[in-house]
Amino acid sequence: MAQYAIMIYEKELPGGVADIPPEILEAHGRVPAQVEELGASITQALALQPNATATSIRGDVVTDGPFVESKEVLAGLFVVEARDLDQALAVGRIVPIMDGGVEVRPLLG
């Protein structure tokens, strides 16, 4: 099976995780079982610290903050094993989103 990154982009919330509505958190808790029902599997799931904790490197310059300015930030990602892109997209569609989007990208290797 191929591996895909399922990247979650959301507006950054002032209070971080504490500001995520309980129904969204509960829906995220159901994702692993839903992924298995689709015949795929999550090999890794990562939630990222707030955007303010990012440090960027451009050439020889190191700066505080994210690499790019955007109204949405990368909030977390899953690595899934799926038989093909269609199955990976089905996984991406079940990820609960408040006010952002999901990007599905094949991994090399």
Domains and CATH numbers, the chain: 2-106 (3.30.70.1060)
Q: How far apart, in whole angstroms, are the C-alpha atoms of residue 16 and residue 4? A: 26
pLDDT tens for the chain, 109 residues long, are: 999 999 999 988 888 888 899 999 999 999 999 999 999 999 999 988 888 888 888 888 887 766 666 778 899 999 999 999 999 999 999 999 998 999 999 999 7
Within 1-109, strands assigned E span: 2-10, 41-47, 55-58, 61-64, 73-82, 101-106
DSSP H helices, the chain, are: 22-37, 85-94
Candidates 50, 31, 45; CA nearest to 77 is 45
Name the one residue in this structure whose structure tokens are 């999550």: 42
User: pLDDT digit string (tens) for 5-22?
Assistant: 999 999 888 888 888 999
User: pLDDT digit string (tens) for 20-31?
Assistant: 999 999 999 999
Kind plus residue range of the DSSP H or E element containing 108: none
